[in-house]
Structure 1
Amino acid sequence: MVSTPADEIAHDFPPFFRVYKDGRVERFHNYVYVLPSDDPNTGVRSKDVNNNSARLYLPKITENNQKFPLLIYIHGGGFSIESAFSTGHDKYLHSIVTKANVVAISVDYRLAPEHPLPICYDDSWAVIKWAALHVEMSDHLITEPWLKDHVDFSRVFLAGDSAGANIVHDMMVRASASEKPLGDGFKIVGMALIHLFFGNDEPDEYCSFVFPGCTGLDDPRLNPALHFRLLSSLICLKILIFTTEKDVMRGRSLAYYDALKKSGWKGEVEIMETQGEDHVFHLLEPTCEKAGVLMKRLVDFFNEKI
């Protein structure tokens, strides 16, 4: 029996995807889409916004004109799987919003390999710029009222897991590139990076495939620990890094932490390591004790006084 291009594999990257010679992409993980909803138990409400590029979460309102910090969250998945609209990430955002009492925007970016990097970065930046427009715009027919009425834009946080943490770092670099790229009143005070997906000084076939236009092993989006100048100019006041004992990328998180401390950056950085666990264990087992410890530290981080 003669094989056809539909059967022949051109590129194979478990646990993410394989590409066949006819161009077809087969993902090893297909997320389960969940609709936005209102939770009667927690009072958290959600809806999809900005042409379905993000899901917006509003905590329970207990006072008129109540204002909350804003969390902009970016999901992981190797740049090629998962979604802001997946069951797992939707539940996790509901939990963060309930416990931390923040308004949250969960970004949904286009996935590689059909949409190679840097598309995910540009999509995420577009959502952040859309959110920043609400600081000064007053027309409720144009703006999103949950943001306009209930966000304290002087307390904005960025957070993400795995590849999402990689994207979050790049968003902070972009926000720090000029004095006020997002306008007056939109202040990113901190970022939380959970189980970072960065490259290192070794060739990486996967990263080269999903990011064909990168500048190589020293690309600042894949290996930021080599770029002290960019790190030293970050505008946020504090950074919280999470890693785990068994994470294959643990060393890259430690290198990023050390580089931040050596770069001359004036903010506060903390790293928290979970013993005995692997990459993104908190999403795979969100009800386990150690996931609860991670969640508590994350919530405390968003609620600390600046």
Structure 2
Amino acid sequence: MASTTKLEVLTDLSPFIKVYTERLLGTPYVSPSPEDTTVASKDITISSNVSVRLFLPKLSDPMPKLPILVYYHGGGFCVESAFSFQYHRYMYLLSAVSGALVVSVEYRLAPEHLLPAAYDDSWDALKWVCSHVLDQTHPENDQWITNHADFNRVFIGGDSSGGNITHNMAMRAGSESLPGNVKILGAILSYPHFSGSNPIGDESPEAIAQHLAYRLWLSAYPSAPNGADNPSINPLADGAPSLSTLGLSKLIVNLAGDDDFTPRGSAYADGVKNSGWKGELEVVVDEGEGHCYHITDPETEKAKNLIKHLASFISQ
């Protein structure tokens, strides 16, 4: 995967000192796809904080109403983008195979914008999508969504930190109404970024403190109440809201055998299963694969099969 170096001023105390952020991981920005391709895409600015890239597959004419997927990219809350090569490629493939209208969300990143900024931006993007059901003629509506979205088939999804965001959006949708009382039908959590202070499985307290998920969380949300046991990062923490309140009807959790995020993801799936939640839960574990493997290298046979499986989850 190509890397990019991006220096941004975090603190400016000129003429004495400037503190910079340097992003060491990520893929380059790419432009939207033209409308004469298999999947057209375009960028929309929702607010000063939030933008999205929309993906519309080329289907039959007249085009039927399509399921809609609101997607949150991964990157530890601090790198990557809805406009990057890696996520553009993945959203293009998923839209093409599923026949879904995809809304890929560009949310604010830490450390310039500490959590809960990314959560707030992600909820605002979901509300913006759902608001199209209220007034189909509103001049500020996006016509792709107005003309093609099936609001009875709204999905949310994400990988790694985006999977964490997806969980938090599903919990919020269980307690707070979306515009037009739109309901989320399903969610995709791929290799979700969860953490916690208590060991799981063979973990030791020392291993937890060194785990990337733990360190990224403390960096991205240093003011989080209860630290790594905040319910946003540890849905199984004492006092966390019951997972039975997830605001959707079906859920798929993707895990990988060679991913050290998997023990927490597996425990999360068990927690959902044992919570009394009334929806349908599916857990997919790909042995011998690593974290987000189907996004970083979507051309392998396993990756293609997983993308087809996720597309079927959305399109059924």
Q: CA deviation at 1:146?
A: 0.6
Q: CA deviation at 1:199?
A: 0.9
Contact 1:69 1:153 in 2 (8 A): yes
Matched pairs, number: 286
Contact 1:173 1:230 in 2 (8 A): no
Matches for 1:250-269 after TM superposition, within 5 Å:
250-269=262-281
CA distance in 1, matches of 2:233, 2:184: 22
Moved >4 Å (runs of 4+): 16-22
Contact 1:247 1:278 in 2 (8 A): yes
CA distance in 1, matches of 2:255, 2:35: 31
Matches for 1:141-180 after TM superposition, within 5 Å:
141-178=139-176, 180=177
Q: CA deviation at 1:141?
A: 1.8
**What amino acid does structure 2 have at the position aligned with 1:258?**
D
CA distance in 1, matches of 2:274, 2:228: 20
3-state DSSP of counterpart to 2:33? coil
Structure 1 residue 277 and structure 2 residue 289: aligned? yes
CA distance in 2, matches of 1:39, 1:255: 43
CA distance in 2, matches of 1:244, 1:127: 29
TM-score, scaled to structure 2: 0.85
CA deviations on 1:143-188 (whole Å, 9 max, x unpaired) are: 111111111101100110110000011111111113x33323x221
Deviating more after overlay: 243-252 vs 30-39: 30-39
Q: CA deviation at 1:39?
A: 5.9
Higher relative contact order (CA 8 A, sep 6+): 2
TM-score, scaled to structure 1: 0.88
Contact 2:187 2:250 in 1 (8 A): yes
3-state DSSP of counterpart to 1:126? helix
Deviating more after overlay: 199-208 vs 295-304: 199-208
Contact 2:98 2:312 in 1 (8 A): yes
CA distance in 1, matches of 2:53, 2:100: 14
After superposition, the CA RMSD in angstroms is 2.1
Contact 2:191 2:292 in 1 (8 A): yes
Q: CA deviation at 1:126?
A: 0.8
Q: CA deviation at 1:86?
A: 0.3
CA distance in 2, matches of 1:166, 1:218: 14
Unaligned runs of 5+ in 1: 1-15
Residue 253 of structure 2 corresponds to 241
Structure 1 residue 28 and structure 2 residue 28: aligned? no
